[in-house]
Amino acid sequence: MKLISKSSEGLHGEIKIPGDKSISHRALICAAISEGTSKISNLQESEDVINTLKSLKQLGISIVKENESYYIEGKGFRGLKESENRLYFGNSGTGIRLMSGLLSIQNFSSSLTGDESLSKRPMKRIIEPLSKMGANISGTNEDTLPLQITPSKKINGINYKMPVASAQVKSAILFASLGANGDTKIIEKSISRDHTERMFEYFGASITYSEKETTLRETDTFTSQNIEIPGDFSSSAFFIVAALISKNSDITLKEVGMNPSRIALLKKLIQMGGDIKVFNHSSFGKEPVADVNVKSSSLNSCEVTSDDVPNLIDELPILFIASCFADGISSFNEIEELKHKESDRLKAMQNGLDKMKIKHFVDGNVFCIEGMGTGYKIPNFLAETYYDHRIAMSFAIAGLNSNSSIEIASPESINTSFPEFIELGIKLGCNFEIS
Ligand code: S3P
């Protein structure tokens, strides 16, 4: 498949963004370990989420799709069955890390693996706290995949100070804590997304969470629930930036997740001068949602602090793109974690920015981008994407402001999180061509 992104005449219209990836993983897993049948609507049908769904099926959970909703028969915290085959999580750090926590409290062994990119990503960050809790979990000598988990005699709650701000690590600990003796308390340096906490609360767990501290008290069961998944804010981010940087644009995105631990990008873009309105506020379960209207805007540079980073970690590549079309030098502090994502996203973006003839530099812990302002047209080039969905979508959006067009390498990676990206983009007026 080939994806070409051509200079566009502006974006218009209203679309509903498919379900959030983080919340979809958690909804499936929580439903699978609750008592009774849960219904999930607007589940994200991406490769990442479908791999989690398939793993749960391999572990003996019945999941049926009927009339656009998924029905999951929960079997309780320890009701999963041993899988005959290795569990495969594809590209998904969230899938494998959350499931590792849950599989650590089962009375059978599991082997977990993933694709080439996931096989290189660090797993020590979950192996360490789970082992401290009493889990038997190991990876290769380099603490990478495959992971082996064998039954443990006893899992204890943990008092854990997180060395990295990571919702995946926090959530792995929380899932393991469901089978632990005693309470678990997690303290974070910077606030990471709290979807697990909200979902646990929705399913009836005894959990408190505020700012940087989460406490889960011993909980015996989850009660099955009906869950409507909010639109994915991270998917929306691509079209929000697309509308801001394309002249004559006016788009509305419906029922987008507005969890405060996810929307730092929105705040940054508004500070940069973005014409963005958030309205029709409501909630799906414990998650806030709203509609978002975005119009073309002249942007100023931004400053991202280390505390902002976990809240916009997945949006950094597209915020880099927005910064290219802003006036002034944008600065991004302590974005080291970008190197441990589906690709080394800092390197991937630096390569692309070079081809876009955008000046960028590193000053100590700070990455800086010198914006070219509204109306800048990037030269035509082939964007390397390292099979990383967010890199591919970021350059596809940059192409809307090109001299004529840019080509996106391996665009299939987009299916990892947003299979509808090209179709919805075209509907809004993005000049995408596939062949
Ligand atoms: C996620 C957490 C983040 C994010 C990822 C999804 C989650 O990873 O980058 O796309 O669903 O918990 P880290 O927690 O490792 O930063």
Tens-digit pLDDT profile for residues 148-206:
999 999 999 999 999 999 999 999 999 999 999 999 999 999 999 999 999 999 999 99
Evaluate: CB of 174 within 6 angstroms of ligand 1. Answer: no
Quickly state the pLDDT bin for 76 (edges 50, 70, 90): very high
Quickly state the pLDDT bin for 67 (edges 50, 70, 90): very high
- Among protein residues, the one whose CA lies closest to atom 16 of ligand 1: 166
Over residues 414-425, the mean pLDDT reads 98
Q: What is the pLDDT of residue 320?
A: 99
DSSP-derived 3-state class of residue 368:
strand
* Distance from C-alpha of 291 to C-alpha of 340, rounded to nearest angstrom: 32
Evaluate: CB of 192 within 6 angstroms of ligand 1. Answer: yes
Over residues 65-86, the mean pLDDT reads 98
Evaluate: CB of 52 within 6 angstroms of ligand 1. Answer: no
The Cβ of residue 237 has, within 10 Å, a number of other Cβ atoms equal to 29
Q: What is the pLDDT of residue 134?
A: 98
pTM (two decimals): 0.98
Q: What is the pLDDT of residue 424?
A: 98
Residues 103-129 have pLDDT tens digits of: 999 999 999 999 999 999 999 999 999
By the 8 A CB rule, do 261 and 74 touch? no
Whole-number Å distance, alpha carbon 235 to ligand 1 midpoint, is 14
CATH hierarchy code of domain 3-19+231-434: 3.65.10.10
Is pLDDT at 211 greater than 90 in this prediction? no
CA atoms 192, 327, 389, 139: torsion sign: negative
> Which ligand 1 atom is nearest residue 25's CA?
11
3.65.10.10, 3.30.420.40, 3.90.45.10, 1.10.760.10: CATH of 21-228: 3.65.10.10
Choosing from 194, 291, 308, 314, the catalytic residue is 314
Which of 423, 326, 428 is closest to 371 using CA atoms?
A: 326
Whole-number Å distance, alpha carbon 168 to ligand 1 midpoint, is 5
> Which ligand 1 atom is nearest residue 314's CA?
9
Q: What is the pLDDT of residue 301?
A: 98
Residues 284-342 have pLDDT tens digits of: 999 999 999 999 999 999 999 999 999 999 999 999 999 999 999 999 999 999 999 99
DSSP-derived 3-state class of residue 170:
helix
H helices present in 138-194, as ranges: 167-177
Residues 228-258 have pLDDT tens digits of: 999 999 999 999 999 999 999 999 999 999 9
By the 8 A CB rule, do 108 and 81 touch? yes
314 has catalytic annotation: yes
Evaluate: CB of 313 within 6 angstroms of ligand 1. Answer: yes
Quickly state the pLDDT bin for 64 (edges 50, 70, 90): very high
- Among protein residues, the one whose CA lies closest to atom 10 of ligand 1: 314
The structural domains of the chain, with segments of one domain joined by +, span 3-19+231-434, 21-228
